[in-house]
């Protein structure tokens, strides 16, 4: 199989790769869930109703929007970069955990990543479409690398040095700074459902509008956060209905790409409307017709809330654990078969030796390069 590796300083270079993660290998890593995930046929929202990732996604979808030519160019740069270049799928390395989770806790597993250059090197060596990180991490190496791989500059963060810890996304810089360092895109997080969410929505909407004026693409980390989302011992922060609505709001305020945690359950709205509680609005068809309890259908509901896939859904890779390689492949299979656009995986990749991190990211990418893993 061929792929295109794109750097803006050179021509497109065609290279042949050995597909190490063929279907049989994917099945092996999925174990007992292989047929459950690879043979599922969605009976909820038909794939024919979705805007699916493709080599012409920018032409087919974004060229009809109000995005200016510079935004279209940067989106195309993202889609043409790395091992997935030209496929319509994205593999992004995000390393903002030095702020979000504290540097020591994030980089103790591999102290090399205290040095931001190694973050960028990992993304390039692994053939990622882009690297996402903080103003400081990308600024300090921007002249060396901003023309070699698309930069996604994260403009807001929750920091963990305030005592007691608070949970609020605050601005760490501005759009002009991201533009000046040559970024292709900016990223931001909103904690939907939190007390601070109204301010965050307004701040990010304004920032994204200005980013588009300057020609930068936009990626939104759409996270739900409220202790009230835990009901009777069940955590609904990653329920399909609540995260789906977060995606819908995120797309509405100008996100070109949505980053979301993969759903683990459903029925958040129903749980929050039990007893004497009243929250939001729901329709039973969300659960009976638009989704099921299958993870691919739950994720498809997230895609549907991204304007039926017009804004691409990239799912989070999640925290590092005991079965990172198998978990990463499973997450990629679910995302792809649901109609998603890719994975943004950080801790599983950088909290290990760089060679293993490259291997893990390549395994994720191979799922998207494998034509036998189809849209359900």
pTM of the model: 0.94
363 located within any domain = yes
374 located within any domain = no
Question: pLDDT value at position 277?
Answer: 76
Q: 8-55, pLDDT tens digit by residue?
A: 333 333 344 455 457 899 999 999 999 999 999 999 999 999 999 999
Strand 90-95, strand 130-134: pairing: parallel
Instruction: Write the CA distances from 152 to 12, 131, 134, 206, 371, integer angstroms.
Output: 22, 6, 9, 18, 28
The yes-or-no answer on residue 148 being catalytic is: no
Give the residue among 291, 293, 307 at the shortest CA–CA distance from 283. Answer: 291
Residue spans of the chain under pLDDT 50: 1-17, 20
57 located within any domain = yes
264 located within any domain = yes
Question: pLDDT value at position 22?
Answer: 74
CATH value at residue 212? 3.20.20.70
220 located within any domain = yes
Task: List all residues 6 or more positions away from 280 whose beta carbon is below 8 Å from its beta carbon.
Answer: 245, 269, 272, 273
Structural domain of 256:
2-369
Instruction: Write the CA distances from 23 to 19, 133, 185, 352, integer angstroms.
Output: 10, 33, 33, 26
Q: What is the DSSP string of 148-184?
A: TS-EEEE-EE--S-SSS-----EE-S-HHHHHHTT-S
Q: 113-161, pLDDT tens digit by residue?
A: 999 999 999 999 999 999 999 999 999 999 999 999 999 999 999 999 9
Q: At what angle do helices 324-338 and 295-304 cross, to 10 degrees?
A: 50
96 located within any domain = yes
CA separation for the pair 15, 147 (Å, rounded): 21
Give the number of domains in the chain: 1
376 located within any domain = no
375 located within any domain = no
Active-site entry in 259, 330, 336, 348? 259
Question: pLDDT value at position 19?
Answer: 54
Question: pLDDT value at position 321?
Answer: 87
Q: Which residues is 260 bridged to in the sheet?
A: 315
């Amino acid at each position: 199989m061929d792929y295109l590796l794109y750097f803006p300083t050179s021509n497109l270079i065609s290279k042949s790769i050995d597909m190490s993660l063929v279907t049989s290998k994917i099945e092996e890593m999925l174990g007992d869930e292989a047929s459950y995930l690879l043979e599922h046929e969605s009976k909820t929202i038909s794939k024919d109703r979705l805007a699916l990732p493709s080599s012409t996604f920018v032409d087919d979808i974004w060229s009809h929007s109000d995005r200016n030519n510079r935004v279209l160019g940067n989106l195309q740069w993202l889609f043409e970069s790395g091992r997935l270049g030209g496929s319509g799928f994205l593999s992004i390395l995000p390393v903002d955990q030095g702020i979000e989770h504290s540097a020591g806790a994030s980089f103790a597993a591999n102290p090399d990543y205290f040095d931001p250059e190694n973050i960028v090197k990992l993304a390039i060596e692994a053939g990622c479409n882009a690297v996402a990180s903080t103003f400081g991490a990308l600024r300090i190496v921007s002249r060396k690398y901003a023309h070699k791989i698309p930069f996604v500059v994260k403009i807001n963060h929750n920091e963990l040095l305030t005592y007691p810890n608070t949970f609020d996304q605050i601005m760490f810089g501005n759009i002009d700074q991201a533009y000046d360092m040559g970024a292709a895109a900016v990223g931001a997080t909103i904690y939907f459902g939190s007390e601070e969410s109204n301010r965050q929505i307004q701040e990010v909407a304004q920032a994204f509008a200005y980013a588009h004026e300057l020609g930068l693409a936009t990626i939104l980390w759409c996270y739900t956060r409220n202790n009230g989302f835990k009901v009777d011992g069940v955590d609904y922060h990653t329920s399909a209905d609540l995260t789906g609505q977060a995606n819908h709001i995120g797309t509405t305020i100008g996100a070109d790409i949505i980053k979301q945690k993969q759903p683990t359950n459903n029925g958040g709205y129903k749980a929050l409307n039990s007893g004497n509680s009243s929250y939001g609005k729901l329709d039973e068809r969300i659960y009976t017709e638009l989704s099921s309890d299958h993870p691919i259908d739950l994720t498809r509901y997230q895609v549907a809330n991204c304007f039926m896939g017009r804004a691409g859904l990239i799912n989070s890779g999640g925290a590092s654990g005991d079965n990172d390689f198998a978990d990463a492949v499973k997450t990629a299979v679910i995302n792809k078969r649901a109609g998603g656009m890719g994975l943004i995986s950080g801790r599983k990749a950088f909290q290990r030796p760089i060679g293993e991190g490259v291997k893990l990211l390549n395994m994720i990418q191979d799922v998207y390069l494998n034509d036998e893993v189809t849209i359900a």
